[in-house]
Amino acid sequence: MASSASSNTVRIVCISDTHSRYHFALPPGDILVHAGDFTLSGQQIEVEDFIKWLKTLNQYRLKVIIAGNHDLTLEPEFYEQTWQKWHHRGKEDYEKIGQLIRDPSLATDHGIIYLEQQEFTDEKTGLKFFGSPYQPEFCGWAFNLPIDSPQIAEVWSKIPNDLDVLITHGPPANILDTTFTGEHAGCPRLLTRVQQVKPRLHVFGHIHEAYGCVVHGSTTFVNASTCDFRYKPSQPPITVDLEVKGTR
């Protein structure tokens, strides 16, 4: 991580788990990555406020975002079955919320790219991103899959081989995934796929208390959780500079 980005590098600013809290400083950069849990429970007002906030961040050319387990309404089937557990005052219009976050004008007019099991290539730098909101079962929230299931293996199989930046909500096993009880909450199957693909940067969050940055081999791993264990946005954004071969 360099002190300043040069003409042949792109500066990526990493945040995650902001949970509708925006009172923190953001450093300069080229691309902002948000690794999910931008709301507390996926309410429409929370999603609208998040989009409004992203639109104000004109210092970043692109804002690449994914959902997390707290962004409940973005997993429609799950929310349809469980909404009464989360929203006692009434059911949220999850179809409208999905349309809000997937509105094509967000990308064309504001550089906001929402990825859900999708890849995206930045035409200016050639950097390829892939984003996924899934993680092993965790307290019965959204985008949960059994840790040893064929379903989670299928999810990670979609991660492309020629990848620069991987964004997942949850961490891989044994890398910045230790909970306050000392347990490892990361996914072993995700770790296996990451070791196969070898992305240059893997950004995630989910486990607030495991915030930090480490390098293993050719991959920089960033747990970018902005909120700490008490849901205070006290953990600063982490910046990573990636070299680019040229523009397309």
Inform me whether the pLDDT recorded for 241 exceeds 90: yes
Residue 140 has pLDDT above 90, yes or no: no
pLDDT of 138 above 90: no
Residue 26 three-state SS: coil
Which pLDDT value is given to residue 89?
Answer: 92
Q: How would residue 247 be classed by pLDDT, with cut points 50, 70 and 90? A: very low
C-alpha–C-alpha distance, residues 5 and 27, integer Å: 12
User: What's the rounded mean pLDDT across residues 192-210?
Assistant: 98
DSSP state of 7: T
Q: C-alpha distances in angstroms, 112 versus 33, 54, 132?
A: 10, 8, 16
Question: pLDDT per residue over 32-74, tens digit each?
Answer: 999 999 999 999 999 999 999 999 999 999 999 999 999 999 9
Q: How many CB atoms lie within 10 A of CB 162?
A: 9
In the chain, where the domains are located: 9-243
Mean pLDDT for the chain? 95
- Output DSSP code: residue 92: -
Contact 39, 69 (CB under 8 A): no
Closest CA to 42 of 168, 190, 172, 142: 142
Query: What DSSP string describes 102-130?
Result: T-HHHHHHH-EEE-SSEEEE-TTT--EEE
Taking alpha carbons only, the member of 1, 117, 129 closest to residue 62 is 129
CB 224 within 8 A of CB 14: yes
- Give the pLDDT score at 205: 98
Mean pLDDT of 9-18: 98
Per-residue model confidence as pLDDT tens digits over 152-199:
999 999 999 999 999 999 999 999 999 999 999 999 999 999 999 999
Topology classification of domain 9-243? Purple Acid Phosphatase; chain A, domain 2 (3.60.21)
**Looking at residues 147-151, what average pLDDT do you find?**
93
The confidence score (pLDDT) of residue 157 equals 97
For 4-13, what is the mean pLDDT? 79
The per-residue pLDDT for 7 is: 63
Look up residue 224 and give its two tokens.
Answer: 């970018």
pLDDT on residue 245: 75
